[in-house]
Structure 1
Amino acid sequence: MGLRNFLTDAWSWLNYKPVMASTLDGRPHRALAPEIQVSWLPEDSIRRLAAYKLLAAYDSNQAGELASLTGNEAAAERREFGDPSTFVDTALAHLLGKSQQIIVPGAEHAGDDDASPKAVAAAEVQQRLRDWAEVELLPLRMQAAERKAVLLGDAVYLLAWDPAKGRVTLRTYDPGFYFPVMDDDADPGDYPTRVHLAWEIPEDPRKGLKARVRRITFELGPITADRGDREPARRYPWAPDRPSHLTCYLSDAEWSIDDLRHGQTLDELPLEKATFRTRRDGQVLDRLDLLIDFIPVIHISNTVDDGEHFGQSALAKVMQALDELAETDTDSARASATTGAPIIGLAGARAELDRVTGRPKPLAVQPGTIFQLADGGRMDVLDTSGQLAELRARVEEIRDRAAVNARLPAVSLGTVDPTDVPSGYALQISLGPLDSLIDSMRLARAHKYALLLKLVQRLHQAGRAEGWLSGPTLPARLVFGPHMPTDRQAILDEVVKGVGAGVFSLETGIRMLQDAGYPIEDARQEIKRIGAAQQPAAHTAQTPNAAQRTT
């Protein structure tokens, strides 16, 4: 009967768009996903990649251009003024906060007089991680990766040991290149034991190169014995007391598209047709033993896992509102054209004749134009200013509705006049939905960044980097700065009064100032500086001056 299937998956919120589900089986339109003709692409990745492309089109104001490719000719006139990009950038700014800081629990006690060896070790690891983050430009790479996570729902980090630099390097990959191999009975939240990073390289006629597929594979597997009499196990620096039989193998190869047969998916490409890449030192990357027992790929999801391995875009719940907003902007632009250059009807006017054709010339209205009208003649002007005002009000209504559903209040988008806010308490209440949104997004990332920092430590140990000693990996976490504006002066007054009255300790006051955004890196060190500054002042106050001694 030609009935469509009812699809429910991680990207079913896009089913309302014809380009996303243009066929009876729910496959995307070829203009959106030409990958559907690619034989090596996994079947379960087609809709995900199509959703990424559609979201990227909205972000770059190309949704109308994409719709016109599917036969919607009216979409070419669509007005797009960057509202999706504004939503994404706002959510990203609040997610990251003004700063990001690496914390190793226990490091704050390293400066105590009776500091334990664990506290000293925690402080050393914390400082080394912070130095690595500064050299490796971690905040900059996080900005790039997290914007993809907010927009597309996913982001990918890749860690690797660089012997030339003597440190771990961090790279970000487009999530469209990420293909984890999940077992049928595996929990989607589990860490996969095999991960592909793959993409298609277009042909280059000038160099005589055909279209190719490049696949970088990380796979956990049993250690291969070098000799028959050697036990296939090793002790890693982070677990010297526990032998391990697992290691991670790296393969990096290319295949010509012509060598692939239909039905050979990414995980089944023929090895006999592969051309393996070679490392700078001459090592062929064919199941290269990395001497680690983990896969150095970290997948970031924008939302908390609810049974799907992949996350959901921050625009998911407001896509239809964004479409309505663009259509209303388009109608408003058309109405403004007729308001600025109105349609005029003349009756009884004498038009000048064209000497060549003998037909009346079209009339043009310009400043200072005078029309001679016959008796009973009149001029009627079409006034569309009322419709334009209604359309502008409609735009604001839809934008506010989208902001509410996206949990991005108008005050966070910068569209509210500060004088319209009655009080700071009212402002705080209005930001409640934003608080829950940011808490949820940070919760989805907390364990992933803890994993990233753990793998950074282990890769430095595996590479025998200077100062990174063997031993258990210390837990570390990434702390995001405050996402809401704070009244720093009010908090400073509160700290001064509270500490002075003995209501709370100086250390608690320092932490309150840190949370408010004051540039205090270490609470303990700041307390010592305050104490050192107060001692000379107290000594001066107790020492009598010259006049007192003479008296």
Structure 2
Amino acid sequence: MGLKSLVIDAWSWLNYKPIFSDQTLGVPHRRAFPEAYASWVPDTDVRRLSTYKVLAAYDNNQVGELAELRDGPAARERREFGDPSMFIDTLVAHVMGREQHIVVPGADQTDTGNETEAAAAERIQELLREWAEDELLPMRMLQCERKAVGLGDGVYLLFWDPDKQRPRLRTYDPGFYFPVLPEDGDGADFPERVHLAWELPEDKARGLKPRLRRITYEMDWIRPATASGVDREGRPVRAPVMTEATDDTPPVPVIGQGDTLDEASGAVYRQYPWNDRPTYRTCYLTDATWELGDLTGPIDIDSLPTDKARFATNGTGEVLDHLDLMLDFIPVLHTPNTVPPAEEHWGQSSLAKALQAFDELASTDTDSARASATTGLPMVAISGANIDPKQQYGVGPGTMFKLGENGKLTTIDTSPALRELREHGHDLADRAANVVRLPAVSLGTMDPSKVPSGYALELSLGPLDSLISGMRLARAHKDTLLLRFVQRLFLAGQHPDWEGITPLPAKLVRGPYTPTDKGAVLEQVTTAYKAKVISLETAIRMLVEAGWPIEDAAKEIEQIQARSFEDARLLADALGNVDEVAEFLGRQAPEEQAAPTPILPVLPNREGGQGSENALTQGQQGSGGNE
């Protein structure tokens, strides 16, 4: 009967676009999304890759260019003034916060009972902050967040750089990310195999045909040691290392250095420095390239023929063909923009539910542009004149028309229509902001003088607060994993500064995103600290989150305590220990403590005057004798 199929999935909010969803098949237009229909792309990823292209077109003001492939040249007249891009930039700024801080719990505590743990936490916090500064972490986060907010997903890749002696951080477009998700598990689980793949164009100057590059990270059982070599065709490959054969024993695989063979099960295990117990699994890296002409038959990104692959080689000469990374995790982090639904893996773009409003806004802008042409150059009707059909008439300064006895000029005023179109555009912009949950004050379109009070301003930011809370919740676990992976890579790379260090949980704290009244926060902190309901460490942390220019909380606390002489006096009265008081002030106690000379009070003599010390002594003696 030709019934229309109803497709409901993570990207069905784009089904209203004819170019994205065919009326009967529910598949994207092949001419508009040819890269999504490549032979190596799995069928389950076609709609996802097409969605990324549509969203990227909105971000770059190219929706009309994309629609032209189906609707013809008339679609290129669409006016796009960057409203989606402005929404993305605003949301990225809010979810990032004004600043980002790496915090290791316990590093800023000065009165802890275990000084060793506090020193270890402070040391790890210092090393992580140095790494973040060297690796330009805020910039990498900004790159990933713009992908996540605009497309719905962002991807981080961590790897050890032996030349720079630190973990490197890269961001990838989610269109290059192809995880192998479990069929019977939760889509939110960490995948056991991840592919990063993209096509390389033809390079005629170097004689290279179109190619496909795939980088694969896979968790698998620990195998015997391998070494770089070449096959019969001269391709670089890895081969197992074997022992020398003797007359009595055949060659057997060599167990890698640091690995142990379990005689009972025959499996190989190793002890990683960050784990309490040994593990039997490790992460393997494969970096290979295929010519697209060799990819024939029923294949996809997860089943490419290895006999056609050309494996890459890293800077140390190791062939990247199942290279053992000596890690028990895959150093690829997928960051969704929103909390994925149950049993789902992918996030959702912040523009998803407002795309139709953006389409209507673009149509209104297009109509406004056409109406402004007639407003600036009005239409004129001439009556009662001898009009020569071969002559063209134009309206401009100094133009003269010869009219008859009842002749007249009639102008058509289109400015009211233009005014209505502009007001309609403002309504659509407000509707889009409401759908995305971006109040006018966050977009900077509200006049501050029209805000009745600070409480009213805070209420207007309620939708934005819930939005950013949900977006940061989706990123909290991945931010923690990022810092955990960095610590493990430092240990795996055997960096001398990390020798003997045990990794600790670290947090990536994002700063405030709304206007903060620093004076009000200072008053709250001062009142609470004087009332002894919060510690000095908590007070400093609250000031840092409010945007006060405090670079290092621990050093700030030390500087405050170094001038807290009244607190030092109370500490001396309570403990009577000069060394602890000196440590509190950050100073060194004197080696010898001389007792102060007592000053005795001068008592009046019997004659009413003030006597000397001898008179006082005699008076005391006389009093004692009489007694």
**Partners of 2:108 and 2:537 within 8 A in 1:** no
Give a deviation string over 1:434-484, Cα, whole Å, max 9, x none: 000000000000001101111110011011011213565311111100010
Partner of 1:20: 20
User: TM-score, normalized by length of structure 2?
Assistant: 0.82
How many angstroms apart in 2 are the aligned matches of 1:495 and 1:221? 52
Say which SS state the counterpart of residue 269 (structure 2) adopts. coil
Q: Quick one: which of 377, 391, 397 aligns to 2:407?
A: 377
Indicate how the Cα distance of structure 1 residues 162 and 376 shifts in structure 2: closer, same or farther if over 3 A, else same.
same
**Could you tell me which residue of structure 1 aligns to residue 278 of structure 2?**
243
Distance 1:21 1:535 in 2: 73
One-letter identity of the residue aligned with 1:200: E
Q: CA deviation at 1:492?
A: 2.8
Letter aligned with residue 487 of structure 2: Q
What is the percent sequence identity of the aligned residues? Answer: 56
Deviation of the 1:94 alpha carbon: 0.5
For 1:218, what is the secondary structure of its paired residue? Answer: strand
Give the equivalent residue in structure 1 for 2:174. Answer: 175
RMSD: 2.0
2:244 maps to none
Aligned to 1:356: none
- 2:86 corresponds in structure 1 to 86
2:166 maps to amino acid: R
Gaps of 5+ in 2: 226-251, 256-260, 262-267, 570-627
Distance apart, 1:121 and its partner CA = 1.0
C-alpha distance in structure 2 between counterparts of 1:495 and 1:57, whole Å: 47
1:222-276 deviation digits (Å, cap 9, x = unpaired): 111245585111111112x411110111111111111111311111111011111
Say if 1:23 and 1:29, in contact at 8 Å, map to a contact too: no
Q: Secondary structure at the match of 1:266?
A: coil
CA distance in 2, matches of 1:140, 1:116: 35
Give the equivalent residue in structure 2 for 1:256.
291
Greater Rg, structure 1 or structure 2? Answer: 2
Contact 1:238 1:470 in 2 (8 A): no
1:108-167 per-residue CA deviation (whole Å, 9 max, x = no partner) reads 22x337443222111111111111000000000100111000000001111000111111
> Which residue, out of 508, 511, 516, partners 2:541?
511
Structure 2 match to 1:407: 437
Q: Tell me the CA shift for residue 173 of structure 1.
A: 0.7
Counterpart in 1 of 2:147? 148
In structure 2, what is the Cα distance between the partners aligned to 1:435 and 1:535? Answer: 42
CA–CA separation in structure 1 for the residues paired with 2:302 and 2:527: 64
Of 507, 526, 530, which residue of structure 2 is paired with 1:477? Answer: 507
**Partners in 2 of 1:11 and 1:300 — Cα distance?**
17
Q: CA deviation at 1:522?
A: 3.6
**Contact conserved, 1:343 with 1:382, CA < 8 A, in 2?**
yes
Residue of structure 2 equivalent to 1:468: 498
Would you say 1:319 and 2:355 are equivalent positions? Answer: yes
CA distance in 1, matches of 2:353, 2:124: 41
2:100 is the alignment partner of 1:70:
no
Instruction: List aligned pairs for 1:357-396, cutoff 5 A.
Output: 359-396=389-426
Do the aligned residues in 2 keep the contact of 1:237 with 1:471 (CA within 8 Å)?
A: no
Counterpart check, 1:190 vs 2:189: yes
Q: Secondary structure at the match of 2:199?
A: strand
For residues 145 and 505 of structure 1, the distance between their equivalents in structure 2, rounded to whole angstroms, comes to 36
Residue 203 of structure 1 corresponds to 202
Q: In the aligned structure 2, how far is the partner of 1:457 from the partner of 1:104?
A: 12
Counterpart of 1:277? Answer: 312
Which protein, 1 or 2, shows the higher relative CO under an 8 Å CA cutoff with sep ≥ 6? 1
Match of 2:557 among 506, 516, 527: 527
SS in 2 for 1:278: coil
- C-alpha contact 1:32 1:53 (8 A) present in aligned 2: no
For residues 524 and 313 of structure 2, what CA distance do their matches in structure 1 show? Answer: 62
- Paired amino acid for 2:549: P
Deviation per residue, 1:154-209 (Å, 9 max, x gap)? 01111000111111011111110000001211210100010000011111223221
The answer as to whether partners of 1:54 and 1:63 remain within 8 angstroms in 2 is: yes
- The AA in structure 2 aligned to 1:233 is Y
Q: For 2:271 and 2:155, how far apart are their aligned partners in 1?
A: 29
How far 1:535 moved relative to its partner?
A: 3.7
> Where does the alignment leave 5 or more consecutive residues of structure 1 unmatched?
354-358, 540-551
**1:37 CA drift (Å):** 3.8
Bigger shift: residues 113-122 or 368-377: 113-122
Mean alpha-carbon deviation: is it higher for 285-294 or for 204-213? 204-213
CA distance in 2: counterparts of 1:243 and 1:409, whole angstroms = 52
2:328 pairs with 1:301: no
Deviation string 1:279-303 (CA, Å, 9 cap, x unpaired) is 1222111111111111110010000
Q: Is 1:288 paired with 2:313?
A: no
For residues 431-510 of structure 1, the aligned pairs below 5 Å read 431-470=461-500, 472-499=502-529, 505-510=535-540
Per-residue deviation, residues 305-326 of structure 1 (Å, max 9, x unmatched): 2132111000011010110111
Supply the AA of the counterpart residue of 1:166.
Q
CA contact (8 A) 1:318 1:406 kept: yes
Distance 1:113 1:35, change over 3 A: closer
Kept in 1, the 8 Å contact 2:180–2:191? The answer is yes
Contact 2:58 2:84 in 1 (8 A): yes
Residues 88 and 150, structure 1, Cα contact 8 Å, conserved in 2: yes
| Paired AA for residue 86 in structure 2 | T
Aligned AA (2:376):
G
Task: Name 1:310's counterpart in structure 2.
Answer: 346
Deviation at 1:500, TM superposition (A): 5.1
**Structure 1: distance between partners of 2:495 and 2:406:** 96
Check whether the contact 2:439–2:464 (CA below 8 A) recurs between aligned residues.
yes
Counterpart Cα distance in 2 of 1:285 and 1:502: 59
Q: Which amino acid aligns with 2:78?
A: R
Determine whether 1:418 maps to 2:448: yes
